Amino acid sequence: MTEMGRRERKKAATRQSLADAALRLFTERGYDEVGVREIADAADVSVTTLFKHFPDGKEALVFDQDVDREAALVAAVRERPAGQSVPEALHRMLLGEHSRRVHTDPRFDDFLRLVDTTPALREYARRMWLRHEHALAAAIADDAGLATDDPGCRALAHFALEAPVLVRGSRDPDTALDRVFDLLGNGWSGTRAG
């Protein structure tokens, strides 16, 4: 299906080699203890080449596989079962994403630990994740029949995307996520009266 000439294949190989070297060195010795020159050396390419492949800089080396999560977010809103609210739909989808990933890739643990323990990477991950805010807000607005730039929709999208970041590090992340989406769904007043 994916027709790749020799050129693109080599390019992908180089990129992969860089990402692999970076992840290995970072997990071995820590993000701040590994320089970009050293990564380039380990992948046997020049520093300039490294930056041609990862123009967003050192942090981007860690997030090589940025798959189609935006589509999944929008779909969660659009194709939710009848009677399910938007916050509920997003809540379920985020829970699913999380548990699926953990039990799939073997070295995904190292990846998560690395990101969690490195402030620069946490920030970067958040920025990447929040890029989808616009698309998600648009989907919500469309669904609710409101203007595309409606502030309420933007807020819901933003808060829903921040939820996973916010609960990371909790003793019980799943329950914490429940609480956050309870707040978004029913409001502060709704969460107390029970």
Partner DNA sequence: CTCAGAAAGTTTAGCTGTTACGCTTTTTTA
Partner DNA sequence: TAAAAAAGCGTAACAGCTAAACTTTCTGAG
DSSP type of residue 81: P
Give the H/E segment covering residue 153. helix 151-167
Q: Which stretch binds DNA (CB under 7 A): 20-28, 44-52, 62-70, 148-156?
A: 44-52
Q: Which is nearer to DNA, 111 or 124 (CB)?
A: 124
Residue 35 touches which member of a copy of itself, DNA, none, C-beta under 5-8 Å by kind: DNA
Q: How far is the CB of 135 from a copy of itself (least distance, A)?
A: 16
123 binds DNA (CB under 7 A): no
Are 110 and 30 contacting, i.e. CB atoms less than 8 angstroms apart? no
Give the H/E segment covering residue 149. none
Q: Which is nearer to a copy of itself, 75 or 120 (CB)?
A: 120
x/- contact string, 54-93, with DNA (CB under 7 A)? -x-xxx----------------------------------
Q: How far is the CB of 169 from a copy of itself (least distance, A)?
A: 10
Residues near a copy of itself, by CB under 8 A = 85-87, 123, 144, 150-152, 154-156, 158-159, 162-163, 166-167, 170, 175-176, 179-180, 182-192
Task: Report the distance separating Cα 124 and Cα 122, nearest Å.
Answer: 5
Residue 64 touches which member of a copy of itself, DNA, none, C-beta under 5-8 Å by kind: none
Q: What are the helix (H) ranges across 30-145? A: 36-42, 47-53, 69-78, 86-102, 108-117, 119-130, 133-144
Are 62 and 121 contacting, i.e. CB atoms less than 8 angstroms apart? yes
Smallest CA-to-CA distance from 91 within 190, 1, 183, 181 is with 181
168 binds DNA (CB under 7 A): no
Q: How far is the CB of 161 from DNA (least distance, A)?
A: 24
Radius of gyration of the CA atoms of the chain, in A = 20
